[in-house]
């Protein structure tokens, strides 16, 4: 099943766009291979507002957010996760508005998954991210004047990823958990395929009418999109088990075979993604390896 990507979006950096009755969006000028057109910061409500994913530490973007909420009170700053295109501006925004920061802190890992063989895997980590109010585990209800949001724990892309469900519009702010323009990067140790697939199913069960990713346009055919997203992940996992029918192999043996049509400079990045799949399949009992699954392990079918 091919993913019905949604990529059409008109962006003018610094402009505030009213995108639904309760939602405005200001896009940061940080386009790139992991941010698409840039970080879309959402402002929810009128008068007393929440700001979701203020974005990178960019003074121009901070000024744009403050212009958009001029005359209003920012009562909540909500963070989906700790990547540097989402959370660093939370501190400066708090300093200017006094609003508390909501989110889930993450413990740093010994492994650096920002780089793999010279290939940048993400936009970087904001390891100093420290929310004032923890949403770890999800289940919290966050309320303002005329709006109500549910914090939904969605680990997978990162261990601390949170989505926010806006009850009044049956909408979900999905951060990087589900994006219309691309699949989501999942790289160990902080990224986890098992968690990701479970979180994806959780969001699907909630039957939102629209999803608002931090990067790119909204997704309005929600169920069909999530189904295709999940099917794509399963196809990748099936490729691994099929390839291992030829015999035990290491990830570095499989990447050139399964990604023959991909620029070889991106093969180290593909290897990190493949590792997430291997770890999941070992947990599921489909594959085995000696010791803990890792990038240099020899994998075999069970």
Tell me the C-alpha distance between 227 and 218, whole Å: 16
Q: At what angle do helices 90-97 and 59-68 cross, to 10 degrees?
A: 50
CATH number, domain 233-301: 1.10.10.10
Query: Where do the structural domains in the chain lie, given as residue ranges?
Result: 16-231, 233-301
pLDDT at site 259: 86
Fold classification of 16-231 is: Metallo-beta-lactamase; Chain A (3.60.15)
What pLDDT is recorded for position 164? 98
At residue 31, the pLDDT reads: 95
- Residue-by-residue pLDDT tens, the chain, 302 positions: 689 999 999 999 999 999 999 999 999 999 998 899 999 999 999 999 999 999 999 999 999 999 999 999 999 999 999 999 999 999 999 999 999 999 999 877 654 444 444 445 556 788 789 999 999 999 999 999 999 999 999 999 999 999 999 999 999 999 999 999 999 989 999 999 999 999 999 999 999 999 999 999 999 999 999 999 999 999 999 999 999 999 999 999 999 999 888 788 878 888 988 999 999 999 999 999 999 999 999 999 99
- Write out the two tokens for 194: 């098992």
pLDDT confidence of residue 118: 44
Beta strands in 182-247 (DSSP E): 210-213
Q: Could you count the other beta carbons within 10 Å of the beta carbon of residue 141?
A: 10
Return the structure tokens found at 295: 């990038």
pLDDT of residue 128: 84
Contact 72, 48 (CB under 8 A): yes
pLDDT given for residue 267 in this prediction = 87
**CB-based burial label for 205 (10 Å; 0-12, 13-18, 19+):** exposed
Per DSSP bridges, beta strands 48-52 and 73-78 are parallel
pLDDT at 104: 97
Which residues lie closer than 8 Å to 45 by C-beta, 6 or more apart?
Answer: 22, 144, 145, 146, 147
Q: What are the tens digits of pLDDT across the range 181-193?
A: 999 989 999 999 9
């Amino acid at each position: 099943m091919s993913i019905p990507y949604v990529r059409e979006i008109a962006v003018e950096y610094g402009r505030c766009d009213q995108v639904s009755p309760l939602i405005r969006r200001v896009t940061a000028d940080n386009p790139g291979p992991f941010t698409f057109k840039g970080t879309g910061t959402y402002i929810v409500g009128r008068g007393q507002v929440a700001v979701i994913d203020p974005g990178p530490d960019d003074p121009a973007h901070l000024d744009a957010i403050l212009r958009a909420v001029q005359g209003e009170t920012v009562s909540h700053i909500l963070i989906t996760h700790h990547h540097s295109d989402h959370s660093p501006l939370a501190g400066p925004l708090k300093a200017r508005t006094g609003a508390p920061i909501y989110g889930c802190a993450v413990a740093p890992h010994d492994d650096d998954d920002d780089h793999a063989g010279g290939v940048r895997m993400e936009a970087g980590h904001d390891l100093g991210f420290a929310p004032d109010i923890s949403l770890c585990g999800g289940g919290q209800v966050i309320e303002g004047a005329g709006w109500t949001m549910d914090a939904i724990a969605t680990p997978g892309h990162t261990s601390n990823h949170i989505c926010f469900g806006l009850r009044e519009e049956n909408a979900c702010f999905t951060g990087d958990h589900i994006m219309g323009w691309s699949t989501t990067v999942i790289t160990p140790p902080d990224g986890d395929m098992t968690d990701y697939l479970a979180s994806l199913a959780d969001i699907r069960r909630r039957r939102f009418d629209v999803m608002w990713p931090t990067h790119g346009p909204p997704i309005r055919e929600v169920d069909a999109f999530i189904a295709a997203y999940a099917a794509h992940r399963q196809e990748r996992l099936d490729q691994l088990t099929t390839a291992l029918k030829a015999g035990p192999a290491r990830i570095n043996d499989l990447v050139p075979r399964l990604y023959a049509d991909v620029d070889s400079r991106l093969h180290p990045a593909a290897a990190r993604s493949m590792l997430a799949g291997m770890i999941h399949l070992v947990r599921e009992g489909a594959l085995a390896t000696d010791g803990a699954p890792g990038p240099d392990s020899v994998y075999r079918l069970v």
